Amino acid sequence: MSRTPLTVVLATREWTPACRQVAEQLHAEDTLVVVADHESDPVVDAVRDGTWRSDAGGDAEAETLAGTVRVVCAGDPDRCSGKANAVATGMAAAETERLVWTDDDFHHPPAWLATLRREYERFGPVTELPFFVGRDPLATLLEPAYALGGTLGTYAGRKAWAGGVIFERGDLEAPDAHRERFGDETGTVSDATGATSDATGATSDATETTPDTTRTTPDATGTISDETVFRRALRRTVTDDGLLSMYLDTTPRRRVRSVPAGGSIRATLERHVRFAKIVARTEPAGFWGGTVLSTVVACACLLAPLPATLVVTLLAWVVYAWLGVERPSWLLAVPATLAGPPLFAYAAARRTFVWGDRRYAWPDPFSVEIRE
């Protein structure tokens, strides 16, 4: 059976169970490109030395892993987030037309990649949906809010989620404003130093250089490709999937992946600020519209508590049932609603936020300052 080869791009510093789950689903023509920050990241040695294969169930099972696993290093980001920098590096290093983006923090069931591959043939670009499962009291409280605004919003708005999206480079379509801004830029993509591991378990050290001229040669009309414009824009922003949604017409599938969120009140606040900034920078009208709606509903819960509580809680239950999420946190819909306006105000007032081990200031969509 003939299959279109694809590359899965996954940014991580460590070899996680998600990496193993994806590697086990590769066919011979497929590649997993793991993008680390630096040579010192543990995932680099795990791939280079082949020790990741012992995590795949031992030698007998490792022999069944048909695809190629490579690791490249993106280096420190400059004027963009670490995640955006990693994804841009992974796309430049990938050698296939078809790409899959995913993350390292959720479970990838055995049919995950095959399902995305099959659905692309039917629908074109396809995205899955995230459901953020709280790991601290505040994150748990906000589960209904993220289910409505994040999960349902991604579906209704036909947005891309970077944790599970498949597309081809030719599917990208750059907005005119982005082409005007980034179409004439020159420069290079950071050198990517890494190792390549083949299906037999052999490894070869390699220093892979991925200049920005990869797949950027102008066509007969002198036009730079939409993908090149996209990767250049990616290196000037914070959000990877927020930007991808501007370039890609996706078909969201009603298939939810549980993503752990938070772990501490501080971590949840930082995530909330980042999410709010993403909406504010990519869809300003949506941010302020959401703020007004959240305030109106919160006021209704205070002024007419009984009917408002019934309506809001029922709505949350319906959304959870429609998404197939079996968690009791829909019962927290009203307190989550009441927490909305002060959290929106807090996010709007914050000038910086922390993502990973970096602090960012993000005053406009393509102006990012990294404050270590």
pLDDT tens digits, 228-254: 999 999 999 999 999 999 999 999 999
Buried b (16+ CB within 10 A) or exposed e, 86-107: bbbbbbbbbebbbbbbbbbebe
Where on the phi/psi map is residue 359: left (φ > 0), alpha (ψ -120 to 50), or beta? beta
pLDDT in tens, 69-83: 999 999 999 999 999
The secondary structure of 297-341 as a DSSP string is: HHHHHHHSHHHHHHHHHHHHHHHHHHHT---GGGGGHHHHHHHHH
Residue 270: CB atoms within 10 Å: 19
Residue 203 has pLDDT above 70, yes or no: no
Contacts for 50 with CB less than 8 Å, ≥ 6 apart: 197, 201, 202, 203
Instruction: Please give the pLDDT value at position 189.
Output: 39
58 band by pLDDT with thresholds 50, 70 and 90: very low
* 152 secondary structure, DSSP code: I
Instruction: Please give the pLDDT value at position 186.
Output: 53
pLDDT in tens, 80-139: 999 999 999 999 999 999 999 999 999 999 999 999 999 999 999 999 999 999 999 999
Domain residue extents for the chain:
6-371
Instruction: Please give the pLDDT value at position 54.
Output: 62
Please give the Cα distance from 271 to 149 (Å, whole number): 14
User: Cα 323 from chain centroid?
Assistant: 20
> What token pair was written down for 37?
């920050």
Instruction: Please give the pLDDT value at position 183.
Output: 82
pLDDT in tens, 179-198: 999 987 654 433 343 444 44
Please give the Cα distance from 158 to 156 (Å, whole number): 6
Give me the count of residues in the chain. Answer: 372
What average pLDDT does range 250-268 have in this prediction? 97
> What token pair was written down for 43?
């995932």
Instruction: Please give the pLDDT value at position 253.
Output: 97
49 band by pLDDT with thresholds 50, 70 and 90: confident
Residue 218 has pLDDT above 90, yes or no: no
pLDDT in tens, 272-327: 999 999 999 999 998 999 999 999 999 999 999 999 999 999 999 999 999 999 99
Residues 358, 364, 367: CA angle, nearest 5 degrees: 55
Buried b (16+ CB within 10 A) or exposed e, 293-321: ebbebbebbeeeeeebeebbbebbeebbe
Instruction: Please give the pLDDT value at position 190.
Output: 39
Closest CA to 66 of 105, 112, 26, 22: 26
Instruction: Please give the pLDDT value at position 221.
Output: 52
55 band by pLDDT with thresholds 50, 70 and 90: low
Residue 75: CB atoms within 10 Å: 19
Instruction: Please give the pLDDT value at position 34.
Output: 97
State whether residue 102 is helix, strand or coil: strand
Using a cut of 0.85, tell me whether the model's pTM lies above it: yes
37-41, 86-90, 208-212: which range is least confident on average?
Answer: 208-212
Torsion angle defined by CA atoms of residues 282, 90, 169 and 151, in that order, rounded to the nearest 10 degrees = -40
